[in-house]
Structure 1
Amino acid sequence: MRLAFLGTPDFAVTALAAIVAAGHEVVCAYSQPPAPRGRGHALKPSPVHAFAEAHGIAVRTPASMRDPGEIAAFAALDLDAAVVVAFGQILPGAVLEAPRLGSYNVHGSLLPRWRGAAPIQRAIMAGDALTGVQVMRMTQGLDEGPVLSSATVRIGPLDTASTLHDRLAAAGAELIVRTLPEIEAGTAVAVPQAAEGVTYAKKISAKFARLDWTKPGAVLDRKIRGMSPFPGAWFELPTDKGPVRVKALLSRFEDEAGEPGVTLDDHLLVGTGEGAVRLLRLQREGKGPQDADVFLRGNPVPAATRLG
């Protein structure tokens, strides 16, 4: 098929790579404009932009797909279909309807649950046992289009947004490659989403990342894993030089009782409002991520330490 691909992060690269490997003609990749990254804040292309350039695919990085010139350029590509994966812009109807067979989104949840920006993180934070990926025909409503194909993925007790992201990206890549021939042949069946069970996955904000140890341990455990690695749920660790910020990147809920925010042993079991949380992977401010045993060698945290 003659395709355009619209995507930005690593999650989208997995799908683009699979589409290219399957032999489809990707005539143009669209991505968000290069953004400042790293200590030097130099402008760097997105993962999709970099992958496309490395594979000889033309790249466009419009500030807005609503620009009349961009709409005309997109229509001039004479596409069979467009594939959209975590692009980062709302697409106007003129763009969605330009390809001969329509525009299709690979979405990281089981719709209508978790429409919106952060379905992977929100599924973990809500305690969902199952999630998945779906290929949806795009309409102008936010993730409201009919679903053509689905794959279910289980969420494990030690899954983080990072580990679940990788499994969903792989599942989504396999799903879109399997679904494109059905779209081309006209055999794909578009099933309208249910009217019940709609939830919205709001973007994850760093301003809500601080851990409140008075909350139930199960809630805190899911928050830690859902915000890992970014923005990273955090707490303050007391030191001789004052409190330092530490991100909790992996945890496990344990059915123990203790004062909220106070360590119950020498191995980072922390009391909460209900139950306790075992911290398994951490990152001290200015340092790299470390497993708990390595972290404790340089930052001992004895029992009865009060965390902020």
Structure 2
Amino acid sequence: MVMRLLFAGTPDVALPSLRLLAGDPEHFQVMAALTRPDAPKGRGRRLEPSPVKAAALELGIPVIESDPGEADFIDTIQRTGAEYAAVVAYGKILKRPVLDAMPGGWYNLHFSLLPQWRGAAPVQRAIWSGETITGATVFRLTPGMDEGPILAQSTVEIGAHETSGQLLERLAEDGSHLLGASLEALAEGRALPIEQPQGAYEVARKVTSQDAHIRFDRPVFAPDRQIRACTPNPGAWCRIHEDGENGDRITQVQVIEAAPAQPDQPGLPEDLKPGRLAMSKKHIWVGTASMPLELLQVKAAGKKAMKAIDWARGARLEKDAFCD
């Protein structure tokens, strides 16, 4: 049996699943791709298609950009002839009438081990909380947020220095195979959905730009996790303060890569107060509530990303410069 699918997704992380399903005509026929409308991007604010729309057009798949809240939305998706829907980072809430409009149901690939980390930013929150293991879950969508019965799960280890972008890229690739296998089992009657256990679980709320403002007044593991969780989006940042001739000079910097300092590093300061900066010939550190954090790669406002030590030399930081 060939499963007729509607694919719903928007960003790059949905592409491995779209391409896997579209590339398996023995088991799947992707009838249409549902995604958000073109959005303004860049300095020119030119309208650009979502990654899923661009990939779908490349694959010859019809694209639907209607909003689920529109009056004719249900008619639009039903006219595709799809019986099931596969969802990966679509970004829209689907209410009961829409869920009921797909005869076989809507099946979502979520990047956590549900029921833990339901919500918008499961990968970022898992890293930020210091977890060492996470994974992907395929489940049937219900009106409750990420609460539907589970078809399958897979686990991965979180690397000690892995960012949310790197981890999400791995999960998107691994999860695409999990989604394909789950849908295939569903079509063949082999899937056994299991209801999620009841209880209080952490919710993965969206990470805002203000959340990404780095706190250096905590032990070094905390800003390290925060920076990795917020890279690349929304981007961990701090302000650099210096006393200049014209008063306090402030520069905003995005920290792209950092790591707890190694105790045997040459020139490592013994007592660096939280937020204070210190440099050697090859390193730049910032103090935390425990040991220093080494800045490895930064991006100053309006500049390209570069090695932190190169940026610091070019910025000619004062000796009393500090971050907050």
TM-score by length of 1: 0.93
Cα distance in structure 2, aligned partners of 1:158 and 1:296: 23
| 1:258 and 2:272 aligned | yes
Q: Which of the numbers 225, 243, 250 marks the counterpart of 2:250? A: 243
Q: Note the C-alpha offset of 1:291.
A: 3.1
Q: Note the C-alpha offset of 1:185.
A: 0.5
Cα distance in structure 2, aligned partners of 1:80 and 1:237: 55
Q: Note the C-alpha offset of 1:7.
A: 0.5
Identify unmatched segments of 5+ residues in structure 1.
Answer: none
Match of 2:301 in 1: 285
Cα distance in structure 2, aligned partners of 1:40 and 1:281: 27
- Once the two structures are superposed, residues 123-174 of structure 1 have per-residue CA deviations (whole angstroms, 9 ceiling, x without a partner) of 1111111111111111110000011111111111211111011101111111
The share of aligned pairs that are identical, in percent, is: 36
Cα distance in structure 2, aligned partners of 1:276 and 1:237: 16
- Once the two structures are superposed, residues 230-275 of structure 1 have per-residue CA deviations (whole angstroms, 9 ceiling, x without a partner) of 2111112346683211101122234765200112443122111233
Q: Which of the numbers 174, 179, 202 marks the counterpart of 1:176? A: 179
Match of 2:36 in 1: 32
Cα distance in structure 2, aligned partners of 1:289 and 1:146: 43
Q: Which of the numbers 209, 220, 239 marks the counterpart of 2:223? A: 220
- Once the two structures are superposed, residues 89-137 of structure 1 have per-residue CA deviations (whole angstroms, 9 ceiling, x without a partner) of 1112222223332110000101111101111111111111111111111
Q: For 2:250, give the aligned amino acid.
A: P
Preserved contact between residue 151 and residue 191 of structure 2 (Cα < 8 Å): yes
- Which secondary structure does the structure 1 equivalent of 2:302 belong to? coil
Q: Note the C-alpha offset of 1:211.
A: 1.8
Preserved contact between residue 112 and residue 197 of structure 1 (Cα < 8 Å): no
| 1:202 and 2:217 aligned | no
- Which secondary structure does the structure 2 equivalent of 1:219 belong to? helix
Match of 1:112 in 2: 115
Preserved contact between residue 157 and residue 252 of structure 1 (Cα < 8 Å): no
- Which secondary structure does the structure 2 equivalent of 1:196 belong to? coil
Q: Note the C-alpha offset of 1:294.
A: 4.2
Q: Note the C-alpha offset of 1:212.
A: 2.5
Cα distance in structure 1, aligned partners of 2:239 and 2:179: 43
Match of 2:106 in 1: 103
Identify unmatched segments of 5+ residues in structure 2.
Answer: 264-270
Preserved contact between residue 218 and residue 275 of structure 1 (Cα < 8 Å): no
- Which secondary structure does the structure 2 equivalent of 1:100 belong to? coil
Q: Note the C-alpha offset of 1:188.
A: 0.8
Larger deviation, residues 117-126 vs 250-259: 250-259
Match of 1:42 in 2: 46
Cα distance in structure 2, aligned partners of 1:36 and 1:171: 31
Cα distance in structure 1, aligned partners of 2:139 and 2:319: 51
Q: Note the C-alpha offset of 1:297.
A: 4.8
- Which secondary structure does the structure 1 equivalent of 2:260 belong to? strand
Cα distance in structure 2, aligned partners of 1:222 and 1:123: 10
Preserved contact between residue 284 and residue 309 of structure 2 (Cα < 8 Å): no
Taking structure 1 as reference, are residues 300 and 146 closer, same or farther at Cα in structure 2, changes over 3 Å only? farther
- Which secondary structure does the structure 2 equivalent of 1:53 belong to? helix
Equivalenced residue count is: 307
Match of 2:289 in 1: 273
Taking structure 1 as reference, are residues 41 and 88 closer, same or farther at Cα in structure 2, changes over 3 Å only? same
Q: For 1:258, give the aligned amino acid.
A: L
Cα distance in structure 2, aligned partners of 1:133 and 1:303: 47
Q: For 1:272, give the aligned amino acid.
A: T
Q: Note the C-alpha offset of 1:281.
A: 1.6
Q: Which of the numbers 4, 19, 24 marks the counterpart of 2:6? A: 4
Preserved contact between residue 79 and residue 98 of structure 1 (Cα < 8 Å): no
Match of 1:15 in 2: 17
Which has more radius of gyration? 2
Taking structure 1 as reference, are residues 247 and 115 closer, same or farther at Cα in structure 2, changes over 3 Å only? same
Match of 1:295 in 2: 311
Q: Note the C-alpha offset of 1:301.
A: 5.2
Match of 2:170 in 1: 167
Q: For 2:323, give the aligned amino acid.
A: L
Q: For 2:60, give the aligned amino acid.
A: G
Q: Which of the numbers 79, 95, 101 marks the counterpart of 1:76? A: 79
CA RMSD in angstroms, aligned pairs only: 1.9
Cα distance in structure 2, aligned partners of 1:304 and 1:277: 17
Cα distance in structure 2, aligned partners of 1:156 and 1:189: 32
